[in-house]
Amino acid sequence: MLQRMEVFDGEKVIKEFEEMTKDAERVQMETLKKILEENGWAEYLQNLGLNGRTDPQSFKECVPLATHDDFEAYIQKIADGDSSPILTGKPIESMSLSSGTTKGRPKFIPFNDSLFETTMQIFQTSFAFRNKQVPLGNGKALQFVYSSKQFKTKGGLAAGAATTNVYRNPKFKTTMKAIQSQSCSPDEVIFGSDFHQSLYCHLLCGLISRDEIESVSSPFAHSIILPFKTFEQVWEELCTNIRDGVLSSWVTDPSIRAAMSKLLKPDPELADLIYEKCAGLSNWYGLIPELFPNAKYIYGIMTGSMEPYLMKLRHYAGHLPLISADYGASEGWIGVNVNPMLPPEMATFAVIPNIGYFEFIPLKANAQDQEQEGDGALVLQENKPVGLTEVKIGEEYEIVVTNVAGLYRYRLGDVVKVMGFHNATPELKFVCRSNLLLSINTDKITEKDLQLAVEAARNVLAAEKLELVEFTSHADITSEPGHYVIFLEISGEAKEEVLRECCNRLDKVFREAGSVSWRKGKATGALELRVVRKGTFHKIMEHSLSLGSAMSQYKTPRAVGSTNTAVLHILCSNVVNSYFSTAF
């Protein structure tokens, strides 16, 4: 499927995708067979007794559903230098680091050329559908991308963020050159040693090329917002750099300075134009199209945990459409956005049948899925996974992935809803992570519950013309009874009665989401709202980056566990107001 051509043929890519999705079941069988033929004699599969068989029935009978914990010992052997066939037939030569959002620490994910090929395939397919709707010319792209440093594992394997493994692959630039606008930033900015210096220079490069910019993008919605929030603070400095043709002295990375010196020339006329634009904006609304008048859209992951950022992103975007990027994870890609002009809240992703082998665990409980224990209590039994073409519209599932880099029947931990079919392949809407976000005693709060609760509080703040900047949560079990804590960072000063109403709204959603009896028996205390001072969540991001996290993968933790003492300390030491719910 991967095209390597000087001139990108989007129509051909779409035609191949249409043909493949019409015969999705057969393609899935062939994909599984190919994966098992290449890797069937690896240690992991041999230990399970697969013995080289490649049919789906034998595969499912021998290979159990698994999580990262089940693979960890095998992955560690590879990272420590064992080059024998452990998970794959061919040696794994690099490792990706997950974002660490789920467990609070990054984990190693095997990465190989096959996984890189699937990444290029989804980029090409996505661009083909996007460019059909909004054709780009020969301009440039303002891409807020950052390649973190790679390091060597004990066994000498290169390890870094998944995006870094892609950006640093020598085939990346060659393959991508034909399918997207040229980045306005030189490689030295993307691969810079300091994130803040790279961000500043991305902005500067964009302004220098303002009339050529056709799209603005970043991996995540929040990493598009951050540069423009930064722009609000540094726009006058940027104008000075452009007017004088001299880069600010605090940008000290030698490679960045050398690259920028080739681009930055004195341009008083451009500096005056940008100054006038900024001085004339009210509350920075429509900032992006004002700065880049020929931009056609804004592109990045905008679903799931990124949805809370859409309001702010739309503020900066003005009339420009927001296009949600495709659906995947560090473990591999899943689906492509074939309807790019739908608003992000409605975005769905058509599964590419040859990009991996997919199974889906139904989450709806049926009578036959329950059995009685001796005391008469009903116990929910886990439903058996179904195949890609067996899912039903309107139902929710947990995704199971068998990828091309040594993960077999891997529970990705994502809950999706089937919204329809594109030919014979399902179109999925991301719902939430399947693991519980918070729990005290027997109640269960998911990421989706938290988002709904925060949205209720956001509406209260919006009525007072206040903006919710960022949020997270914590289950405080040091008190008796334990209680939930929500941390909010707000754009301005809110009246006490407004914050108390926010607290009660948060609590109401939590009580509706939790078990029916949790408050009747006072098993869980009143929800607590803690308002933190401005910049608190920026400090959390800085802390994460200081520990080696990549900005290209950073996400605000939506739940902070009691063992994450550093982040809890940042939050608690910046609390300015605290309120307890009176809603029950």
Give me the residue spans of the domains in the chain.
135-152+161-320, 334-364+385-433, 438-580
pLDDT in tens, 177-188: 666 668 899 989
279: CB partners within 8 A, 6+ apart:
none
pLDDT at 556 over 70: yes
Q: What is the C-alpha separation between 212 and 509, in angstroms, rounded?
A: 46
Counting beta carbons within 10 angstroms of the beta carbon of residue 27, is it exposed (0 to 12), middle (13 to 18) or buried (19 or more)?
Answer: buried
pLDDT in tens, 468-486: 999 999 988 887 788 899 9
Beta strands per DSSP E along 112-181: 140-143, 151-152, 158-161
The residue among 347, 283, 292 whose CA lies nearest residue 319 is 292
pLDDT at 378 over 50: no
Residue 175: predicted pLDDT: 65
The token pair at 235 is: 């726009």
- Secondary structure (H, E, C), 387-406: EHHHCCCCCEEEEEEECCCC
| Mean pLDDT confidence for 349-361 | 95
Lowest-confidence segment of 124-133, 170-179, 432-441, 534-543 by average pLDDT: 170-179
CA dihedral 31, 32, 38, 41 (to 10 degrees): 180
Cα angle vertex 331, ends 330, 334, to 5°? 100
The residue among 453, 451, 361 whose CA lies nearest residue 413 is 361
Strand 213-220 and strand 297-301: the pairing is parallel
| Mean pLDDT confidence for 327-332 | 85
DSSP 306: G
Residue 524: predicted pLDDT: 79
Q: What is the C-alpha separation between 459 and 414, in angstroms, rounded?
A: 27
Q: What is the C-alpha separation between 550 and 148, in angstroms, rounded?
A: 5
More confident call, 169 vs 391:
391
What are the distances in angstroms from CA 408 to CA 37, 134, 224? 13, 38, 34
In DSSP notation, 181-199 reads PEESS-HHHHT-S-HHHHH
What are the distances in angstroms from CA 38 to CA 87, 296, 407? 11, 43, 13
Q: Tell whether the torsion through CA atoms of 237, 240, 245 and 248 is positive or negative.
A: negative
Alpha helices in 358-474 (DSSP H): 447-463
pTM above 0.85, yes or no: no
Q: Within 13 A of 223's CA, how many CA atoms are on the CB side? A: 25
Residues linked to residue 217 through DSSP beta bridges, in sequence order: 143, 299
CB of 287 closer than 8 Å to CB of 293? no
Give the mean pLDDT of the chain.
86
Element (H, E) at 75: helix 68-79
